[in-house]
Amino acid sequence: MELEIYNISGKKTSKKADLHDGVFAAEPNDHAIYLDIKQYLANQRQGTHKSKERAEIHRTTKKLKRQKGTGGARAGSMKSPLFIGGGRAFGPRPRDYSFRLNKKVKRLARISALSYKAKENNITVLEDWTLESPKTKNYVELLKNLNLTGKKTLLVLGDSNKNVYLSSRNLAGTKVVTASDLNTYDILNAGVLVLAESSLKKIETLLS
Any domain includes 177 = yes
Any domain includes 88 = no
- Provide CB contacts within 8 A for 129, sequence distance 6+: 7, 8
Any domain includes 203 = yes
pLDDT mean over 51-78: 91
d(CA 111, CA 22): 8
Any domain includes 69 = no
Any domain includes 168 = yes
Q: Report the pLDDT value the prediction gives residue 2, as an integer from 0 to 100.
A: 87
Q: Report the pLDDT value the prediction gives residue 175, as an integer from 0 to 100.
A: 95
Q: Total structural domains in the chain?
A: 1
- Provide CB contacts within 8 A for 89, sequence distance 6+: 53, 54, 81
Tens-place pLDDT, residues 127-160: 988 888 999 999 999 999 999 999 999 999 999 8
Any domain includes 21 = yes
Any domain includes 173 = yes
Q: How far is CA 206 from CA 107, 151, 182, 195, 200, in A?
A: 8, 27, 10, 15, 10
CATH number at residue 133: 3.40.1370.10
Any domain includes 148 = yes
Q: Report the pLDDT value the prediction gives residue 41, as an integer from 0 to 100.
A: 97
pLDDT mean over 204-208: 90
State yes or no: pLDDT of 28 exceeds 90: yes
Containing structural domain, residue 141: 2-29+101-207
In this prediction the pTM is 0.83
